[in-house]
Amino acid sequence: MNHLTKTVFEKCIFIVFAAVVLLLPSGQLSADDCLDCHGEKDLEAVSPERKGMKLFVTAEALKDSVHEEVGCGDCHQSDSDAEKPHYEGGPAPKFMCAGCHEGTVNEYEKKDVHGRLYAKGRKNAAWCSDCHGGHDIKKSGAPDSPLAPDKQADTCGKCHNDSEQSPTKNIAKRKLLERYRSGVHWNNQKDGKPSAICSDCHGAHGIRQSVQMSRVERIESCGKCHKEILADYLAGAHGQTLASDNEDVPDCISCHGDHDIISLEKHDGKRDYAATQTCIWCHGNERLMARYGLDTSQVETYRKDFHGLTQRSSLGASATCADCHDAHMPLNHKDPKSKMNPDNKAETCGACHGETSTAFQASFTHQLQNQSGRYLINRIVTIVYIVLILVTIGGMLFHNFIIWAFYVRQKYKNRCDKCTTVRLTVPERIWHWVLFASFALLAITGFALSFSESFLIRWMYDVFLTEQARALLHRIAAIVMLIDMIIFIVAVSIKPEGRRKWWREMMPRPHDISDFFRTMFYYLGITNERPRYHVFNYIEKAEYWALWWGTVLMALTGFILWFSRMLPADTPTWVLDVSRTIHFYEAVLACLSIAVWHFFFVIWHPAEYPISLLSITGRIDDHEAKERFIDEAIEAQTEMNTAAASKPGKQKKE
């Protein structure tokens, strides 16, 4: 056989062999073969690891799918007729996505956060079917695809909308779907406008965790849609700093948020959000500004200017940081392109104020006042006015105090000379003043904690107060007040006249209701008869029992908070929260009651002004007693005072 004949013979043998191979059954199962089992609705998995899997597949499962012409074995690992491991309860057939999508699967396994976790055996990591669907896979842009623009958020949200952190899912941020739907991108989607969806920012098969993305990558991602804004940002101070490999600057999400992206032109109907809050996050941070040789004076000077003052109020209509400095391209005022450059200030200020003079344009600046001679005159005027105010108002107060003290002395002299009816004995007056002093100290030291940012409290902390001293004073005042109240209870309870005065006479009676209406009718001018009361009227009774109620409540909640570490282990978690709430609001109620109710009747009441001296002298004159009390009440007080004066060692005259 010559060489040519041999070559022809080999080719014929190859052709015959190939034909035989092609004509022989492949051993691959057809769709009908698979549906022999998977077409049964009650088909259940045998293998424990596959329990709960949906094994039923309809004959129309692939209709209108991108895989409509693809056989079962092309996606699922093919089994021969002789071996069916999944039928015997073996491992689930593997997906064969890489057979057609090798490049995509390689990118997913090597770069994507889901793919890397899936390769490590994390079964809850998203796989192809979790995002694209199973048998009903549609093109990503199709309206009924789970990855369509209006449905993609729901698809990603199946895993990324947890309200609780789940270490097993390796997801740090919470409520991403809920937050995304509060942002401008989703609102644009709802309005039918093209807007960013999950894959536009995060990618599709090479998704990385946000911590793995640099600020440059993040702004470039936003810049795919916001090209002009990206160009402005890169030309501005923040972008120039970022270009110098310093990532300690704000990027898009620093100001606008990540998933709950908002427009900073308005927030809650006001234009103050971008100017005051977002910018202050960095420019009001002293440590951050000091890192780059800057200071926070810009924030303070803005807040003291008309613009800042109106932004801090409810107006929200004045110039913001972005109005003067440009939101995306802020530049130093020396830069010719800066909106705050002297050559550009007329246009910048004119946007709100129209045509303005050079003096008006230069009237506001972020420079510190001690950095320029232009502030010398203003500084001198400020000092002069502070001194003038202190001297003038201080002189007025001193002048008026002399007059007020004169009438107090006159009233004290008349009260001592003419008063015989004793309302408060010496021990009762001491109890009252200890109570008042401890209450005042409790109020000051308590609210110093709740309102530590107020001007007065900040001044106290700067000058003399520390947190340790505040807490100690608060607890000492509480103990003093409780001891004072206990001594009072014991003192008035062991004596008959005390029990009669402070328990029997203080008890609410039906006549208190009629006394209230008679009082209102008299002061409203309905009747001309001035009301006269028993030993204690409804006003004094209300104060007295409110005092006991508040003392018990404040003591109980105060000790719970003070000794919270000693509470039993099974104490309900709400006990401390409720105690803290009651302690605060009861304190507010008590202080307001003293200021509005008690001080009116002992200071501001026309009949008592300039001040009631009852807590000092303990007495009222006979004429006042006849106007205030019914005859039985005068007689009762006389009997109690006589009984108290007749005790051994007791002086006959208070």
Q: What is the DSSP string of 348-385?
A: HHHHHH-S--HHHHTT---S-GGG-GGGHHHHHHHHHH
Do 99 and 74 meet the contact criterion of CB atoms below 8 Å apart?
A: yes
Q: Which helix (H) or strand (E) holds 148?
A: none
Domain boundaries, the chain: 262-367, 418-645
- Give the whole-number percent of the chain exceeding pLDDT 70: 84
Residues 298, 292: Cα–Cα separation, whole Å: 15
Residue among 487, 486, 479 nearest 555 (CA): 479
Residue 189 has pLDDT above 50, yes or no: yes
Across residues 309-328, what is the average pLDDT?
77
Residues 592, 569: Cα–Cα separation, whole Å: 37
Q: In this predicted structure, what is the pLDDT of residue 22?
A: 43
Across residues 39-66, what is the average pLDDT?
76
Residue among 360, 330, 327, 326 nearest 342 (CA): 360
What would the pLDDT profile of 552-582 be if each residue is shown by its tens digit?
999 999 999 999 989 998 899 899 999 999 9
Residues 424, 644: Cα–Cα separation, whole Å: 11
Residue with structure tokens 């302690």? 583
Residue with structure tokens 């977002």? 278
Which CATH number is correct for 418-645, 3.40.50.410, 3.60.20.10, 1.20.950.20, 3.30.70.580?
1.20.950.20
Residue among 555, 439, 424, 600 nearest 502 (CA): 424
Three-class secondary structure of residue 643 per DSSP:
helix
Across residues 52-70, what is the average pLDDT?
81
Residues 640, 501: Cα–Cα separation, whole Å: 8
**DSSP string covering 396-420, please?**
HHHHHHHHHHHHHHHHHHHHHHHEE
Euclidean distance between the first and final Cα of the chain, in Å? Answer: 151
Residues 474, 481: Cα–Cα separation, whole Å: 11
Residue 477 has pLDDT above 90, yes or no: yes
Contacts 24+ apart (CB under 8 A), 638-643: 638/421, 639/497, 640/497, 640/500, 640/501, 641/421, 641/422, 643/496, 643/497
Confidence label for 412 from pLDDT (cuts 50, 70 and 90): confident
Higher pLDDT pick, 109 / 81: 109
The chain-wide mean pLDDT, for the chain, equals 83
Across residues 318-346, what is the average pLDDT?
87
